Amino acid sequence: MSQGTSKRLINWRRRKARVRRRIHGTTERPRLTVFRSSKHIYAQVIDDVRRVTLAAASTVDSGFTGEGLTKSEEARAVGMLVAQRCLSASIEAVVFDRNGYPYASGRIRSLAEGAREGGLKF
């Protein structure tokens, strides 16, 4: 462990690498990846073959209005927003990449459920 790097960060990077060894996005089924910070949540749909981001949504987008919502409700709204943007780009099926975060935690699961409600299949 290098100086300045916490054990929590090292463990998260290990989990992230373990998940990414198994999950790859293709042109037919791109990868929906999630990043969460203490205040915001971000979602991107990535084609790993071409290495390009196809759609993205987050709580810091100018079109996002999440005032008065809890973090889990914001995550669900971001999931629905990214699903809407995917469907407009004719993407219907994705592979979900939880990015090393536990799925049972509220925000990751809420984002996934919101994306499913929005019409994405995974």
| Model pTM score | 0.86
Enumerate the domain spans of the chain.
7-118
pLDDT truncated to tens, each residue of the chain (122 aa)?
Answer: 557 789 989 998 998 898 888 888 888 999 999 999 999 999 999 999 999 999 999 999 987 887 889 999 999 999 999 999 999 999 999 999 988 888 887 899 999 999 999 999 99
- Report the alpha-carbon distance of residue 26 to residue 3 in Å, rounded: 38
Domain range 7-118, CATH architecture:
2-Layer Sandwich (3.30)
Enumerate the β-bridge partners of residue 32: 45, 96
**Euclidean distance between CA atoms 95 and 47, whole angstroms:** 10
Name all contacts of 12-20 with Cβ < 8 Å and 24+ positions apart: 12/100, 12/101, 13/100, 14/100, 15/100, 15/101, 16/99, 16/100, 17/100, 18/100, 19/97, 19/98, 19/99, 19/100, 20/97
Exposure string for 34-43, b = 16+ CB within 10 A, e = fewer: bebeeebbbb
Alpha-carbon 78 to chain mean position: 9
- Cβ-based neighbour number of residue 71 at 10 Å: 17
